[in-house]
Structures are given as structure tokens and as C-alpha cells.
Amino acid sequence: MEHTQVIIRPVVSEKSYVLSAADKYTFRVHADAHKTEIRQAVESLFDVKVLEVRTMTVKSKPKRRGLIRGRTRRWKKAIVQVRSGDTIPIFQGLESKGS
């Protein structure tokens, strides 16, 4: 799997902003990607040194619109800790817009 297919997009939430202060960044990743692939993708795409990768599968939630019932998709999330001093520019631009 190519590096651009492993990482789908960054997760933008209040929790991800708090984690970015501790050099941890959150991404939505391909469901079949494992930790080694995620580490290699982040290191090659953003030119940083990854110290730790934590992954989890986010369960689907029940949703309803009128009488139609369904569920959201399940997806995989990865929290990546980078070396102190390294930053990922995607999250830097979002932090400055919040204030």
C-alpha cells in the first residue's frame, strides 16, 4: 500500500488540539493499515521522526433520519507521537486559527 493511501486525513477535534501540544497527532487511516505502515507513511510524508503509534477502531453509531434507520461507518484512527521539536504543518495552521 502506498503512503498516500495509508493516511486519509487529519482528525480535527478539541482532543486532537490538546494532544498536538504534547507532539501527538491524530489521523484517520486506512482500515487495513498496521502500525509499521502508518509510521513509514508519516515519516515519509511529513519528514518527521515517529516515536510511537497507537491505533484504534472507532465503532459505528446508530443514526436515524425520520423512519429510516442506519449506522455510520466504522473507521480506524491513529495517534502518532513525533520526536520533540518536530511538528506537522497541517496542525500548525489549524492551531493559529482557533484564537
Summarize pLDDT for 34-62 with one digit per residue, the tens. Answer: 999 999 999 999 999 999 999 999 999 99
* Alpha helices (runs of H) in 21-88, residue ranges in sequence order: 35-46
**pLDDT beneath 50: ranges in the chain:** 98-99
What is the pTM assigned to this prediction?
0.84
From residue 42, alpha-carbon distances to 2, 27, 48, 60, 82 in Å are: 12, 10, 7, 26, 9
